[in-house]
Chains A and B, each alone.
Chain A
Amino acid sequence: MSQAAPRPRDITTVPPAPGHLRMLARQSDYHWTRLRRTWKGSVVTAILNPLLYVAAMGLVLGSYIDAAGSGPPGAASYLHFIAAGLLAGQAMTIAIGDATYPIYGAITWDKTFWSMVATPLRVVDIVTAALAAILLRVALSCAIFMLTLAPFGLYANLPGALLAFGVQLLLGWAFAALVCAYSVWTPSEAGFSIIFRVVLVPLYLFSGAFFPISNLGPVLERLAMFSPLWHAIELTRALMLGTPLAPGAALLHVGVLLGLGVLGWWLSVRLLSRRLLS
């Protein structure tokens, strides 16, 4: 019996799965193709929308505010004040928009995530790649917006402007991850119009983008401080205009955004696992 029959390969032990980075790289062509096919529609809005807001609110309405001398303290003009708010508002809008219907559709309508999870890809890889793709769009449109604003002389210095760009990525990640968790969880798309009307719009309007939140009165001012967008706008404004920011406050702002981003990402992975694997 020297020649034992070759044992059938043990099919219960699976070869070790590739690392997370390689798994992300494997999805890059899919997300790249999607981006390439859809960027045209968003680039027009990405350039035109902020320009229209800058012109209407910053230049025209701002001229009345500056003439009255009642503008927000700490900014050279009203345009200087709202530029940071418009930028962060745009980052948030794109992140939320991309994390709603596209994510929900990938589970419910075209079932892309179901096919993905049938490959060696793990849920954590799928979620991370989807969020990274959203972040790429946020980065693209924020870069365009920041370049469009450059001729107005709104940046105190280059390092500050680059850091402000980084804040948009942090903000985009936080909102994309949180909303992605909702989109993975929700049983119906009816809730999305509520997200836009009850979350996005009030956050944009009451997070200090258009006026200092102290104008809201002490109670609502406290409430506005819970808005992640407010934290991002405070950071962005200080970095863009070169105004000093207490290290404690800066740490708090970054910590809130980072924490929400990690929480949303973790929730998304948990909820998507429950949806796809159980």
Chain B
Amino acid sequence: MAERAAAEQAAVVMMAWHLVARHVRVYRRLPFVFLTGFLEPVFFLFSIGIGVGAMIPGFEVGGTLIPYATYVAPAMLATSAMNGAVMDSTFNIFHRLKYAKLYDALLATPMTTADVAVGEVTWSLIRGGIYATGFLGLMAAMGLVHSPLALLALPACLLIGLAVGGVGMWLTTYMRSWQDFEFITLALMPMTLFSGTFFPILGFPAPLRWLIEFTPLYRGVVLCRELTTGMPTVASGYSVIYLVALGVMGVLFARHRFDVLLRH
């Protein structure tokens, strides 16, 4: 019994790789589109972190005053991990689901809806991981990394990608038209601006602070910042548990919704 379950699980992974291979092949023909995904956090780091940072003394993290660029860089790392995962899991999947009919084609092969869900998330994580590695390298080169713990920021970005991507994929299955994506933008904008990305949220009233502390981006920003500055606290532990739980929930729900939508 256990053997069979194990074999089935292996099959899921093997099949899901075909979807990843498909995406790799598509993006090999669009190298520029792939590469430009790396640029956005870099532009933000130089503009807000350095240009605006010249006018700000810096912020305290764990009792130490750190320069503004050091404060903003890990937040940009987390934000770009979120944005990349959202783009992959919402716009791209909606297009494949509704217009390209990619999944209908996949399900006509031995692949299953679980392959689709796992394959899409895997691809999104590979892509996000490549961007995050590049940005972390840039941060290190600019002297914005203060601890070897920063290496753990890479898996942290993958966790953010898993959490946001899983939930995004699940929500996408409910989208009716491109107009519904306004809601995604509406959720992303305030998160990007208020999740402790550009300034601490300590001055906010308590209920608002609690709300912010419960968003995935805030958890990701805190996690990345504590790792790159080398000052991990118990908040990082909460973040890891929260992001894993959110991600697993999202992928499972998405798989269920693919079942409803695609298995007529």
Query: Which residues of A line the B interface, CB within 8 A?
Result: 41, 44-45, 48-49, 52-53, 55-57, 60-61, 64-65, 68, 70-72, 78, 190, 193-194, 197-198, 201-202, 205-206, 210-211, 215-216
20 additional contacts (CB under 8 A) given A49-B189, A65-B56, A205-B47: A52-B189, A53-B193, A60-B199, A61-B198, A61-B199, A65-B52, A70-B54, A78-B55, A190-B32, A193-B33, A194-B33, A201-B39, A201-B43, A202-B43, A205-B48, A206-B51, A210-B47, A210-B51, A211-B51, A211-B55
Q: Bound state CA distance, A119 and B231, in angstroms?
A: 69
The reply to whether the CB of B253 lies closer than 8 angstroms to some CB of chain A is: no
Name the distance in Å between B212's Cβ and chain A's nearest Cβ.
Answer: 12
Flag if B193 contacts A57 (CB, 8 Å).
Answer: yes
* Interface check B109, CB cutoff 8 A: no
Q: Does more than half of chain A's interface fall in helix, strand or loop, or is it mixed? A: helix
- Chain B: CB-nearest residue to A211: B51
Question: How many chain B residues have a CB neighbour from A under 8 Å?
Answer: 30
From 166 to 187 in chain B, residues with beta carbon under 8 angstroms from any chain A beta carbon are 179, 182, 185-186
Could you show 30 A-B contacts with beta carbons less than 8 Å apart?
A41-B182, A44-B182, A45-B185, A56-B193, A61-B52, A61-B198, A61-B199, A65-B56, A70-B55, A71-B55, A72-B55, A78-B55, A190-B30, A190-B33, A194-B32, A194-B33, A194-B36, A197-B37, A198-B39, A201-B39, A205-B43, A205-B47, A206-B47, A210-B47, A210-B48, A211-B51, A215-B50, A215-B54, A215-B55, A216-B51
Nearest 9 Cβ contacts at the A-B interface: A205-B47, A56-B193, A211-B51, A197-B36, A70-B55, A215-B54, A65-B55, A215-B51, A211-B52
CA distance A57 to B189 in the complex (A): 13
| B179–A56 CB distance below 8 A | no
Report the separation of the CA atoms of residues A55 and B194 in the bound assembly, to the nearest whole angstrom.
Answer: 10
- What sequence of 0s and 1s flags, for each residue 43-71 of chain B, a beta carbon within 8 Å of any chain A beta carbon? 11011101110111100000000000000
Contacts of B56 in A (CB 8 A): 61, 64-65, 68, 70
Q: Is B205 an interface residue (CB 8 A)?
A: no
A71 to B56, CA, bound (A): 9
Give B238 Cβ to nearest chain A Cβ, in Å: 24
